[in-house]
A and B are shown apart, each in its own frame.
Chain A
Amino acid sequence: MYFNANDVTSFMAQKEFIDTAIIPLVAIDLTNEKMKQSGAEADFLLSLTAFIEQQFKGRLLVMPPFSYSTTLKDEAMPAQLAAQLHNAGFKHVFFITCDHFWTNSGDEVNVIWLPAIPLESMDKGVKNSILEDQLRQVIPVFSTKWAQI
């Protein structure tokens, strides 16, 4: 499900089934050397979350990406956001990112870090199989968390 009126309506109606929120954290680096890399990361991350959404539509709500530039990065942000999402009724909150910064943010928030794969030069078939591979990396993270209840 996406964060739009239709999907939020079904979330409200089916809260016991849709218990997971997933938030992409997108770094926007505007320095000359890193800007292209940053764009590739954002592209990869959003393609991957769209693919995750397609596979697990009935169980998770994909939030709009939280983007930040280098100076706006706030270490406390994920924990606060996770707390608010828990209050809103989500049992599981996952952050998904290509930014190394969040990997050491401790155990209280679930951060899935993935290396960005530049998708821009690939044709569609290759792109899909790469995303499928990446999805296979992510699925165990979800299923172990889901199995814990």
Chain B
Amino acid sequence: MSNNRVSRRQFLSYTLTGVGGFMAAGMLMPMVRFALDPVLQKHAGGDFVLTEQKIADITEEPIKVDFTFEQVDAWYKSDVTNAAWVYKSGDEIIALSPVCKHLGCTVNWAGDTAHPDQFFCPCHAGRYEKNGKNIAGTPPLGPLDEFEVQEKDGYLMIGPSRANTLV
């Protein structure tokens, strides 16, 4: 017992290390939080929206699926209805954005009778292949955007859009 006695010097150095450690942690913690915060942040608008489309009913032929989410614009809240062109490619479900990459019109599947297997933009006759690839010689300069998809209880969920990964 006696050889384990804490000397005054030891006691002071332990206490100072402890207090100093707390102070250092108190300064470092907020910095680490700030650095990590962007990673922990939940992405607004990145949520998946449940649609009324059954996964089983999706075929190789693109169909239009509507989905609605709430948009807050300053003090004005509104329900926005958006749509996606959804089809099955092998086992994978593809959801393409209907917004033309030229000037933002809404494209239609088989909208042009001369090209029944393509997306067609009625504004300036822009055309896209089934995977969203823009056809050279028509006004659009990029492929259609793609939505992330998920399945929930047999129904389709549509998530955030991203650049086309199929082309």
Contact = CB atoms under 8 A, between A and B. Distances in A.
Interface of A: 10, 14, 17-18, 54-59, 124, 128, 139, 143
Interface in B136-154: 139
Contacts of B139: 17
A143 B139 CA distance: 18
Contacts of B81: 124, 128
Contacts of A57: 103-106, 123
Nearest to B105: A58
Nearest to B106: A55
A128 B66 contact: yes
A70 B81 CA distance: 35
A58 B123 CA distance: 7
B68 interface: yes
Contacts of A124: 68, 79, 81
Size bracket of the B interface: 10 to 19
Contact of A17 (B66, B68, B79, B103): B103
B103 A10 contact: yes
Interface in B32-66: 66
Interface in B98-138: 100, 102-106, 121-124
A143 B102 CA distance: 19
Contacts of A56: 105-106, 122-123
Interface string B68-80: 1000000000010
Contacts of A18: 103
7 contacts: A14-B103, A17-B102, A55-B105, A56-B123, A57-B123, A58-B100, A58-B124
A58 B103 contact: yes
Interface of B: 66, 68, 79, 81, 100, 102-106, 121-124, 139
Contacts of A54: 106
A58 B68 contact: no
Contacts of A55: 105-106, 122
Contacts of B105: 55-59
Nearest to A54: B106
A59 B79 contact: no
Given A17-B139, A56-B105, A128-B81, 17 more contacts: A14-B103, A17-B123, A17-B124, A18-B103, A55-B122, A56-B106, A56-B122, A57-B103, A57-B105, A58-B100, A58-B102, A58-B103, A58-B121, A58-B124, A59-B123, A128-B66, A143-B122
Nearest to A58: B103
A114 B63 CA distance: 29
A125 to B, nearest CB: 9
Contacts of A59: 103, 105, 123-124
